[in-house]
Amino acid sequence: MFKLKSPSQQEQILALAMRQIEKLLKEMQNEGKDLSRLKLKKFQKTHHIDCNCKLCEVAKTKNDPRLRGLSEDGFKVYVNGDKKSPQ
């Protein structure tokens, strides 16, 4: 991830993300999905188990996979038990 230089940049990115999420939910509602059982879950995808970067080396020595390098951060949408792709 990159570091933001000002709070206004953080607010702009948050506003953009909220608009995209709202658009996604409106599309799902237009498709006839019942959003009353909507769940959003955060997920993090780490480096492959064979990775040899510094973070993964530390994770191996401490035997803690949560310390692995992060390659992706996002969320998943669940509606009525149906799984949707990461957004």
Helix (H, G, I), strand (E, B) or coil at 49: coil
* Tokens 């951060």, residue located: 73
Task: Look at residue 22 and tell me if it is in a domain.
Answer: yes
Q: How many domains does the chain have?
A: 1
List Cα–Cα distances, 33 to 30, 37, 78, in angstroms. 7, 10, 11
Task: Look at residue 12 and tell me if it is in a domain.
Answer: yes
Q: Cα Rg for the chain, rounded, in angstroms?
A: 17
Fill in the DSSP letter of residue 27. H
Q: What is the pTM of this model?
A: 0.52
Task: Look at residue 61 and tell me if it is in a domain.
Answer: yes
Residue 40: give the domain boundaries. 7-83
Q: Which of the pair, 49 or 86, is modelled with greater confidence?
A: 49
| pLDDT tens-digit series, residues 26-78 | 998 899 888 888 888 888 888 888 888 998 999 999 998 888 888 888 878 77
pLDDT at position 41 is: 86
Rounded Cα distance between 21 and 71, Å, is 22
Task: Look at residue 1 and tell me if it is in a domain.
Answer: no
Task: Look at residue 2 and tell me if it is in a domain.
Answer: no
Task: Look at residue 37 and tell me if it is in a domain.
Answer: yes
| pLDDT tens-digit series, residues 11-29 | 898 899 889 989 988 998 8
Q: Is residue 87 over pLDDT 90?
A: no
